[in-house]
């Protein structure tokens, strides 16, 4: 029985990772046989993984096919509301519980990521690592689990807000402010700084979407 579950788990996480890395983008069709070939496994665990991803709304039906889901405006707004609150809580808890070593790692990440400002794709990956580090520094496993789900769903957005002109440099300044508040052990300031950071990212994405709609009209 356990042997059946293990490949299912592997297939699930492999497909998730492929979506997160942008190998499969919103609207892309996922075909069992192609996935089985890509990951070198039978179609049964792939099929079970696809069913699981569909129940989590990460995939949706298009006729008889499964495609990577696309978030509509309302879903995106709902996701950002939840993300803002959970990320803020993580920053507040990190200010309280992060070790000195964890704070230094966050500081080093900000410094290293400054060099990526001109590369939105690389900066987006670094941004995920930075936020994940804050989640872990909260030392609350249940919060980390919920934020993992939120960030998986973020992969359903076709573009990154960091691609907007000037956003990367501004976001890096915001990251530095968040880390400074965590280092100062000021939970309220850390929470406020991270919530503001998420709000600005959301507004940037709304402007991106508005421009995209204008181009498509």
* SS3 readout for 6-33: HHHHHHHHHHHHHHHCCCCCCCCEECHH
Q: Angle at the Cα of 217 (from 157 to 119), degrees rounded to 5?
A: 40
Tell how many helices (H) and how many strands (E) occur in the chain: 9, 3
Please determine, for residue 2, whether its predicted confidence score (pLDDT) is greater than 80.
no
Where exactly are the structural domains of the chain?
Answer: 2-68, 73-216
Same fold, 2-68 and 73-216: no
Bridge partners (DSSP) listed for residue 170? none
Which pLDDT belongs to residue 125? 87
Domain 2-68 CATH (choose: 3.30.1370.100, 3.30.70.1060, 1.10.10.10, 1.20.58.340) = 1.10.10.10
Which pLDDT belongs to residue 4? 44
Strands (E) located in the chain: 29-30, 59-62, 65-68
Which pLDDT belongs to residue 8? 42
DSSP class of 53: H
pLDDT tens per residue across span 34-56 = 999 999 999 999 999 999 999 98
Query: Which tops the pLDDT comparison, 32 or 208?
Result: 32
Work out the number of other CB atoms within 10 angstroms of the CB of residue 12: 19
pLDDT tens per residue across span 77-136 = 999 999 999 999 999 999 999 999 999 999 999 999 999 998 888 898 899 999 999 999
Least confident of 2-16, 24-38, 48-62, 81-95: 2-16
Going by C-alpha positions, the residue among 135, 164, 168 that lies closest to residue 151 is: 135
Which pLDDT belongs to residue 98? 98
Region 175-194 average pLDDT: 98
Which pLDDT belongs to residue 108? 98
Which pLDDT belongs to residue 81? 96
If DSSP codes are grouped into helix, strand and coil, which group holds residue 72?
A: coil
Q: What is the rounded radius of gyration, in angstroms, for the C-alpha atoms of the chain? A: 19
Query: Which tops the pLDDT comparison, 4 or 23?
Result: 23
The domain defined by 73-216 carries CATH number 1.20.120.530: yes
Q: How far apart are the first and last CA of the chain?
A: 53
Which pLDDT belongs to residue 23? 85
* Size of the chain, expressed as the number of residues it contains: 217
């Amino acid at each position: 029985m356990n042997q059946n579950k293990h490949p299912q788990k592997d297939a699930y996480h492999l497909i998730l990772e492929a979506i997160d890395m942008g190998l499969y983008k919103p609207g892309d069709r996922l075909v069992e046989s192609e996935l089985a070939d890509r990951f070198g496994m039978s179609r049964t665990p792939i099929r079970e993984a696809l069913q699981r991803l569909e129940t989590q709304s990460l995939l949706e039906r298009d006729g008889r096919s499964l495609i990577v889901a696309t978030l509509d405006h309302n879903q995106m707004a709902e996701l950002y509301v939840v993300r803002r609150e959970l990320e803020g809580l993580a920053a507040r808890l990190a200010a309280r519980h992060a070790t000195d070593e964890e704070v230094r790692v966050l500081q080093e990440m900000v410094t290293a990521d400054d060099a990526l400002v001109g590369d939105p794709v690389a900066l987006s990956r670094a941004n995920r690592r930075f936020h994940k580090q804050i989640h872990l520094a909260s030392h609350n496993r249940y919060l980390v689990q919920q934020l993992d789900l939120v960030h998986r769903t973020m992969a359903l957005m076709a573009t990154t807000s960091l691609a907007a002109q000037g956003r990367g440099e501004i976001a890096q300044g915001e990251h530095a402010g968040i880390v400074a508040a965590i280092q100062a052990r000021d939970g309220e300031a850390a929470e406020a700084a991270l919530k503001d950071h998420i709000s600005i990212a959301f507004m940037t994405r709304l402007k991106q979407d508005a421009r995209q709609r204008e181009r498509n009209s």
